[in-house]
A and B are shown apart, each in its own frame.
Chain A
Amino acid sequence: DAKTTQPNSMESNEEEPVHLPCNHSTISGTDYIHWYRQLPSQGPEYVIHGLTSNVNNRMASLAIAEDRKSSTLILHRATLRDAAVYYCILRTDSWGKLQFGAGTQVVVTP
């Protein structure tokens, strides 16, 4: 399975954007890029996913590099409730299973 690399932690001020990078240099053409987050004492929560094009939803935006070897999750205005561990994961197109890494701990300060 292709691996991803994320920073261990990032800090942001409330109401400012947060850009979370993810490197996946060994990604294959059929791998989807998924992002999940896990708030304290809760199960992981789906955030967004994409294949080649940038994606937007009510939670976040996903910017995918043209060569697909990296991507960035964008939280447009961080709130205290966005403090969580964010996981960037590749899911293969067939029988794809999510293998979680260590993720990025996002700290939001008032």
Chain B
Amino acid sequence: DAGVIQSPRHEVTEMGQEVTLRCKPISGHNSLFWYRQTMMRGLELLIYFNNNVPIDDSGMPEDRFSAKMPNASFSTLKIQPSEPRDSAVYFCASSLGSEGNYGYTFGSGTRLTVV
């Protein structure tokens, strides 16, 4: 089992550019979560999907952020246009189910730097 795979591991971009982060969940997991981590705010849940359908996107900071899950094995988080305050580590996680009895598996994260 390769675990949750995120790409790229590091991304440096200029302010105003579009950034796309990618995530491949564990095969068979039907719930997927995007988190953002900064020193100031800790780990924040941005959005989560169940069976490829967005369930709760209340954590998405603003309209510049969008997430999609076109199929069970792939999800993207897009920021357009990017701003320096978006600099953070973005984690993707997946879970076997949406019930409380299932744990999450996290990816290694994408460190985004917007200059």
Q: Does chain A bind chain B?
A: yes
Q: Does A43 contact B (CB under 8 A)?
A: yes
- Nearest Cβ distance between residue A57 and chain B, in whole angstroms? 11
- A100 contacts B43, C-beta separation under 8 Å: yes
User: Which of A31, A93, A98, A101 is in CB contact (< 8 Å) with B104?
Assistant: A98
Across-interface contacts of A95 in B (CB, < 8 A): 50, 55-56, 98
Query: A42 vs B107: C-alpha distance in the bound complex, in angstroms?
Result: 9
CB-CB under 8 A from B109, the residues of chain A are 42-43
A contacts with B: majority SS: loop
B24 to chain A, nearest CB (A): 14
The digit string for A17-33, where 1 denotes a CB below 8 A from any CB of B, is: 00000000000001110
B42 touches A97 (CB 8 A): no
Contact A49:B106 (CB < 8 A) given known A101-B42, A102-B42: no
A24 CB to closest chain B CB (Å) equals 13
Which of chain A's residues have a CB closer than 8 A to the CB of B61? none
Which B residues are closer than 8 A to A by beta carbons?
33, 35, 42-45, 48, 50, 55-56, 91, 93, 98-101, 103-109
